[in-house]
Each structure stands twice: as C-alpha cells, then as structure tokens.
Amino acid sequence: MFYLFLSFFILNDGFSMSRHYCSYLRDKRQKLIDKYSYGWYITVHSIIDIGSIIGMMVYYEPKHLPIVIAILVVLVVWYAPMFFKYLWKRWNALH
C-alpha cells in the first residue's frame, strides 16, 4: 500500500512541479484552473497530497527510508534553483 500512495504522491506533485519546466503541462494545469477555478485546483491538489502523505505514513516500514530520503532530496534539488532566483530578484530590487 505504501507504493500505491507513493504513486499518487509522485503523479500529483510531479504534475504540479513540472509546470516550472514544461510549457505543455503548464498549459494543461492552466486549462484546469480556467475551467474549474484556482481554489478548486488547490483544494484537489492538497487533498491528494495530504491523503498520499498520510497513507505513506500509515504504511511506512523502515525499508522505505531510502525512498523517503529520495523524495526529500528531489524536492530540494527541484525547488532550490527557483528559491535562489527569487532571492536574487529580491536582492536586486532592494539595491
């Protein structure tokens, strides 16, 4: 069951995160938001995220530790460039 929840988590966050690098998926996401609303999109995304994380926690076993660490590393590596870009823009705006 852990792997089922992991799959939901990867699909949900992979789709959401890919908008930063893939214009096709960014357009698909925007079409969903235009059709249903941003609030609906965030609600559904959050429910899937929270449900997936809770499911992974319930079915977690010590053998899954490398997967959990890999998820954290991917999230940091994925979002670190955007965070530094944000900081750079803020720094330049102040000076």
Q: Is the dihedral of CA 66, 71, 74, 76 positive or negative?
A: negative
Instruction: Specify the DSSP class assigned to residue 60.
Output: -
Question: 60 in the Ramachandran plot: left (φ > 0), alpha (ψ -120 to 50) or beta?
Answer: beta
Half-sphere exposure of 93 (CA within 13 A, CB side): 6
pLDDT tens by residue, 9-49: 999 988 888 887 889 999 999 999 999 999 999 999 999 99
pTM of the model: 0.72
Reply yes or no on whether the pLDDT at 95 is more than 80: no
Residue 16's pLDDT is 84
Q: At what angle do helices 38-58 and 2-18 cross, to 10 degrees?
A: 150
Let me know: does 8 contact 52? Beta carbons within 8 Å: yes
Residue 21's pLDDT is 82
CA distances in angstroms from 87 to 21, 83, 84, listed in the order given: 19, 6, 5
Q: What percentage of the chain exceeds 70 in pLDDT?
A: 100
Residue 30's pLDDT is 92
Residue 14's pLDDT is 86
pLDDT tens by residue, 54-71: 999 999 999 999 999 998
